[in-house]
Structure 1
Amino acid sequence: MGVFVRLAAALCLPLLLAGCLLTPGKFTSRLLINADRSFTYSYVGEVHALDPEQMKPGKEPVSADDKRKAEVKARAIADALSKEAGYRSVRYLGDGAFAIDYQVSGTLTHNFIYPFNLDGQAIVPFVAVELRGNGTVRVKAPGFANESKDELGPMSGAADSSDKLDGTFVLETDAELVSTNNEEGPGTAGPRKTLTWKVSPLTRDAPTAVLRLH
């Protein structure tokens, strides 16, 4: 029965998330990348699920019945996510907001994106790690800035959520740091380097760094 429940949740999750735009609220996020390609990513804080259809200009006000349906859907999303790998806890806070505790570890043999929703109408990854052919990886956090949301246009609903952006993104590594847009540069402790970005509604440029791995 337990296997069936987990399978059902996995099958239903794309349908529940379809059309949702996930955006960060108040959070702490950390990405550890080692030169041997091992990595750990964590996100602890708020996530807001927005319906782009409701953000369109001229859209009729949401009815009480629609609000009730949205609340049921949100609670179902929280339940389904809590059964997914990496989600240590998911709690629905109301009004489309979730409290998320997520952590995953692995090896960078392929690109990594969080979160990823194949069926969503609009996807703005919080963090993306792109492997390149010359032994480098590019780390970019488009969800932790407003530049990528501007590219989606006013119909995405992202502009209306930017006032909720309030967090810290930390990148720690012992790999060679090729480049970064972090103005303060890395803090160092032995061979390890730490880059810290404080993000807010005023953050325009997505945190970005390029690392060279073994």
Structure 2
Amino acid sequence: MTKPTSIRMGAASLLAGLSLLLSGCFITPGKFTSELVLTDANEFSFTYEGEVFFLGLSQLAKMAAAEDAKFEAECYDEDTGEDRECTQIEIDDQRANWEVDAQARAAKAQRESDQMAAIMGDIDPTDPEAAESLRQMLLRQKGWNRVEDKGNGVFDVSYSVNGTLGHDFMFPIIEGMPPSNPFVQIIVRDDNVVRVNAPGFAAQNDENPMGAMMGGMGGMAGLAAMGADGESAGQAMPDIPKIEGTFTILTEGQMSIRANNTDEGSSPTSDGEKLAWDISPRTKAAPTALIAIGQ
């Protein structure tokens, strides 16, 4: 008997999404606490404490590759469109066609593996030492003070950096990897104005497809409950960290918060103002603020 249509279509949608996401080597937060401090001396400090999830190193990516290499006959009733059991002749015909394409699939898999390694700074995600290689790469970069491998593409990190507001800033930036979906951006404008955006902290933001996938887990959670093979719950889908945390902006000195999208607005501190966002899988709007420095 073939899989029920809902399960098969759910798996197909998941794998199609994975193919798109893997092409960008997407990274997403898990549980975290992050803080940005801005001063009227045109300086900033930024910290991120918590989980960082690399999809390309997860069991989810391996599932996508395995599913793509697996044969499964699919038959349906021409009148109702419902799934039905395939005859042996149908199974044999479909298998023969599938095997004809085996060489093309193998070439495609190798091509995608090479592309992923290039995107990940020449780290081959199929290498058993890939996670350790990435950990060592991050620790070589300034700001990555702690990087611990928790398994399944999840790392527990402590990141902190100080700088001046004479240039833009983005986190994370990883050597050898193209910028993908930034967690936090500082964009410096003329007239001592900065725009702070945090697209990676919006689980369902259109600009963050990885966040949308990780935050909008309804379809994937349903697939996990059924199991990728349509059998019992919890057999197939690996644990994926849900986005959950807080992002805080603190201003110090003579500064003016011109706009922000917090729920409560700013609150006073001993030497400035504070903006805070609680982030969860239900967060749709990416945190953002427009701040004038020295005013």
Superposed displacement of residue 106, structure 1: 1.2
* Alpha-carbon distance in structure 1 between the residues aligned to 2:267 and 2:257: 12
1:171 aligns with 2:249: yes
Matched residue, 1:72: 129
Is contact 2:31–2:245 with CA below 8 Å preserved after alignment?
A: yes
For residues 37 and 141 of structure 1, do their structure 2 counterparts lie closer, same or farther at Cα, with a shift above 3 Å needed? same
Is contact 2:199–2:207 with CA below 8 Å preserved after alignment?
A: no
* Alpha-carbon distance in structure 2 between the residues aligned to 1:118 and 1:152: 21
Matched residue, 1:5: none
Matched residue, 1:31: 36
Superposed displacement of residue 200, structure 1: 0.4
Is contact 1:81–1:87 with CA below 8 Å preserved after alignment?
A: yes
Q: 2:157 aligns with which of 100, 121, 126?
A: 100
Q: Deviations 1:123-142 (Å, cap 9, x if unpaired)?
A: 11100000111321000110
Superposed displacement of residue 119, structure 1: 5.2
Matched AA of 1:102: Y
- Larger gyration radius, structure 1 or structure 2: 2
The residue correspondences of 1:1-214 to structure 2 (distance < 5 A) are 19-51=24-56, 60-61=66-67, 69=126, 71-117=128-174, 120=177, 123-148=180-205, 150-151=206-207, 157-162=210-215, 164-174=242-252, 175-214=255-294
Is contact 1:142–1:207 with CA below 8 Å preserved after alignment?
A: yes
How many residue pairs get aligned? The number is 191
* Alpha-carbon distance in structure 1 between the residues aligned to 2:257 and 2:281: 27
For normalisation by structure 2, the TM-score amounts to: 0.58
Superposed displacement of residue 147, structure 1: 4.6
SS in structure 2 opposite 1:206? coil
Q: Deviations 1:126-181 (Å, cap 9, x if unpaired)?
A: 00000111321000110000354x3465xxx5433225100000100032111111
Which stretch of the first structure deviates more once superposed, 138-147 or 22-31? 138-147
Is contact 1:168–1:198 with CA below 8 Å preserved after alignment?
A: yes
For normalisation by structure 1, the TM-score amounts to: 0.78
Q: Which has the higher helix share?
A: 2
Is contact 1:111–1:131 with CA below 8 Å preserved after alignment?
A: yes
SS in structure 2 opposite 1:51? helix
SS in structure 1 opposite 2:137? helix
Superposed displacement of residue 58, structure 1: 7.0
Q: Which has the higher strand share?
A: 1
Matched residue, 2:7: none
* Alpha-carbon distance in structure 2 between the residues aligned to 1:61 and 1:51: 15
* Alpha-carbon distance in structure 2 between the residues aligned to 1:206 and 1:152: 9
* Alpha-carbon distance in structure 1 between the residues aligned to 2:160 and 2:248: 14
Structure 2: runs of 5+ lacking an equivalent: 1-22, 70-112, 114-123, 218-241
Is contact 1:19–1:120 with CA below 8 Å preserved after alignment?
A: no
Matched AA of 1:161: M
Is contact 2:204–2:281 with CA below 8 Å preserved after alignment?
A: no
Is contact 1:117–1:123 with CA below 8 Å preserved after alignment?
A: no
Matched residue, 1:3: none
RMSD of aligned Cα (Å): 3.1
